[in-house]
Amino acid sequence: MDFRRITIFAFISLFILFLGSKYTFTGAEKPVTIHSPQREISKELSQPNKTVFYQTHVDHVAVTNSGYSLEEIKENYKGKFEELQSKTNDQLDTLVEHALHDFKAYINGDHSDDDSLKALYQSYSAQGQKIEQQTEKDFQTIYKNLVNELTQNGYPKDAAKEFKQIYEQQKEERKSEILKQAFSIIQE
């Protein structure tokens, strides 16, 4: 071997030994080269105490894949409301017919002594109120179902208001019509 190579090798070895001895004898901590220790999480994450999702905050979001279109839902419930109106009109027409028959019988004197016009009025008025209450109850049930279906399909509740307006208008018109019939019969 060459003296020059041995000298360079010795010099490098001495340098490495010098650095190593300085490191081991000075008490410096050795860095961990394999892995660093895991962090410990001392704080637990708290669960939210309030619901994060509020339906009222997302009314403006449109559902793109809803089962039914707004017009299909309205058309379906339009039929239900018309069926209710037809049923109620049939009941009212029958009631008015019976009232008219009993009133004519009262006018013609075909009644017992304890029948009075006031009792006749009270009887038919109570029956009319019963029909009105049942119709109102049925309407509210159908209306709530409509509102629920609208919200389930992502449509605003306001889309149902037109049915309520039509119902109220037709109810008032029907009352006026019955009162006009009653006045016309009395004036005969």
pLDDT at res. 67? 73
Can you say how many angstroms the Cα of residue 156 is from the centroid of all Cα atoms in its chain? Answer: 9
Contact between 178 and 170 (Cβ < 8 Å): no
pLDDT at res. 76? 92
| Separation of alpha carbons 10 and 5, rounded Å | 9
| Separation of alpha carbons 143 and 80, rounded Å | 10
Contact between 127 and 95 (Cβ < 8 Å): yes
Q: How confident is the model at residue 14 (pLDDT cuts 50, 70, 90)?
A: confident
Pick 79 or 118 by higher pLDDT.
79
pLDDT at res. 114? 55
pLDDT at res. 110? 65
pLDDT at res. 104? 81
User: How many CA within 13 A on the CB side of residue 110?
Assistant: 6
Q: Encoding tokens for residue 54?
A: 């509020």
pTM surpassing 0.75?
A: no
Q: How confident is the model at residue 139 (pLDDT cuts 50, 70, 90)?
A: very high
Q: How confident is the model at residue 26 (pLDDT cuts 50, 70, 90)?
A: low
pLDDT at res. 44? 56
